[in-house]
Every structure is written in C-alpha cells, then in structure tokens.
Amino acid sequence: MAEVVRIYEVGPRDGLQNEPGVISVADKVALIDLLARSGLRDIEVGSFVSPKWVPQMADTDRVLAGLTLLDGVHYAVLVPNMRGWDGFAAVRVPGVTYEIAVFISASEGFSRANLNCSIAESVARLVPVVRAAEAAGVAVRGYVSCVTDCPFDGPVAPDAVARACEMLRDVARMPLSLGDTIGHGTPETVAHMLDAVTAIVPVTDLAGHFHDTGGQALANIEVALEQGVRAFDSAVGGLGGCPYAPGAPGNVATEAVLALLHDRGFETGVDAHAIAQAAAMARAIREKAHAG
C-alpha cells in the first residue's frame, strides 16, 4: 500500500496575508470552499492576530462565518495570544473540527519583528492559549519559524531550532511545523536542522513548511521525505510570504508538491485536478487584488 503524506494547505492564510491589495471575504470563502472539496483535510483559513500588524487577516471572523464547513476537513487559524483566542472562540461553531496554530521563532530577530517580543516571552504568551484550546477540545499545532535562516540574524543553528521545538513541546505535545520562513534553506541546511530536531521530536509529529525564494523548496521536501517527514505545508498557486520577513516569497505551490509526491508514489488523498482549478482561482484573486 502506498505511503500517505499529509498536505496542509496554507494559501488562504500564509498566501493571502501578504497580498498588498484588498481581497474580499467572498473571494476568500470561494477559494477555501473550493479547496475543501479537493480532498484536503487541513486548510489554514486565517489568523486572529492584530489587524494593525496583518490587515489582510482582519476579516478572519467573517471568512469563518461564510464557509460551507465540511465534515472531515480541519479548519485552522493562527492565534498568538488570548485576545486572538477570544476572537476565535466567539465565532466557533459547535461540532466543526477546528485547529489553532501557535507560532514562535527559532531566532530572536524574527521573534521581535513578528511578535514584538523575545522567544521566551512568546512561549509564555501562548501557554494560556494552549490551555484554553485543550479545555475546549480544539487541536493545537505549533510553528517554529526561521529554522535555517533569519532575515535579521542570518543563519540559524540547528540546536537553536531544536531548543525552540522543545520549548513548544514543554507546553504540550503538539505537532510542529518547521518553517523556512524566507526560503533560504538548502537540502544541506535542512538535513542538519532535521537531524537536530528529530533527536528530540518524533518525526511523525513534524511537518515541513518551505517558502520558495531560493527555488529549493521541492529539493528541501525531498530531503525531508528521506528523513521520514510525512507532512508538508503548501499554498495553492504558490501564494505566500510573511509580512514581517522581508523578501519572503510564496510558499511552495500545492500543485507542485502534489506532482512530486504522486510521482514518487505517495498517496495524499488530494485531487490534483481540483487543486489546479483552485490554483487558477488563486491567481485570479491575486491579479484582481493587484489591479485594484
């Protein structure tokens, strides 16, 4: 039987958060609803973060309210603090499977730029969020950013990434997504980083999150596959970036990741034709936003 790889679609959040133009709630809802019918089980749909920091995600409550929520799909949102948790909790529909993602950085420079605090402070801030999610029965995922390079501090030591992972896992045994936030990772730096992280976190609890600045994202996924990683984040149409990581381009495209995985004989449960349709819609939304 073919081995399964899980795809986390992050385009509606990591992709659209970086678009300069205005994207309507209706367009976001249409894209997410189309993605939800493609066989994807995990879709990150927005963020309950400060609208002053990331204006594109300010409508996440309305996006969640507009979705046709399907059984079997996990709808994920980023939550940095209790204010974000309260925003999410206010619009949550009973019976729907949600996931929240908490996020920290392996480098102090990016932590300051993205969260306005140190790594240690960001972990302290997310503890009550994780406890609230646990009490409400909502799954939690953890992101560690800058796992090979930081736009402010330069190369990041594998041990620093392992320490950041440990800090999150000390809060709760959550699955972790390892973010090459600015896409400077190479197969070599990714392999060294994974050596350090898999020494302390079971590889089954890890996902790779590669941006494609250096055009190395697929090669980095291949290295991660060799090291046993079986979950990857990607963005339909290659949407993406991070507003607080200068030079961060799109996430690796979901359609490219699917092509690679299906070619290698992995099963994803995701229909490549449906994703191609969604990629066309994502491109049209982006063009409309740029034109507007």
- Site for ligand HMG, rule CB under 6 A: 14, 17, 47-54, 78, 80-81, 83-84, 87, 103, 114-116, 143, 145, 179, 181, 209, 242, 244
Residue 38 site contact among Mg ion, ligand HMG, none (CB < 5 to 8 Å, cut-off depends on kind)? none
CB of 55 or CB of 269, closer to ligand HMG: 55
Contacts of 215 (CB under 8 A, 6+ apart): none
Residue 54 site contact among ligand HMG, Mg ion, none (CB < 5 to 8 Å, cut-off depends on kind)? ligand HMG
| Token pair in block for residue 149 | 């390079």
165 is catalytic: no
Residue 148 site contact among ligand HMG, Mg ion, none (CB < 5 to 8 Å, cut-off depends on kind)? none
Q: Does 44 bind Mg ion (CB under 5 A)?
A: no
CB of 256 or CB of 274, closer to ligand HMG: 256
Catalytic residue among 146, 150, 165, 242: 242
CA distance 270 to 114: 32
Contacts of 210 (CB under 8 A, 6+ apart): 180, 183, 185, 216, 217, 220, 221, 232, 233, 251, 252
In this chain, which stretch among 10-18, 96-104, 166-174, 193-201 interacts with Mg ion, using CB under 5 A? 10-18
**Residue from the set 9, 11, 14, 183 that interacts with Mg ion by CB under 5 A:** 14
Phi, psi of 209 (to 5 degrees): -130, 95
| Residue facing ligand HMG at closest CB distance | 179
| Residue facing Mg ion at closest CB distance | 14
CB of 28 or CB of 211, closer to Mg ion: 211
Smallest gap from Cβ 91 to ligand HMG, in A, equals 13
CB of 103 or CB of 232, closer to ligand HMG: 103
Smallest gap from Cβ 182 to ligand HMG, in A, equals 8
CA distance 108 to 219: 27
Within 145-184, which residues bind Mg ion (CB under 5 A)? Answer: none
**Interface with Mg ion (CB under 5 A):** 14
- Enumerate the active-site residues: 242
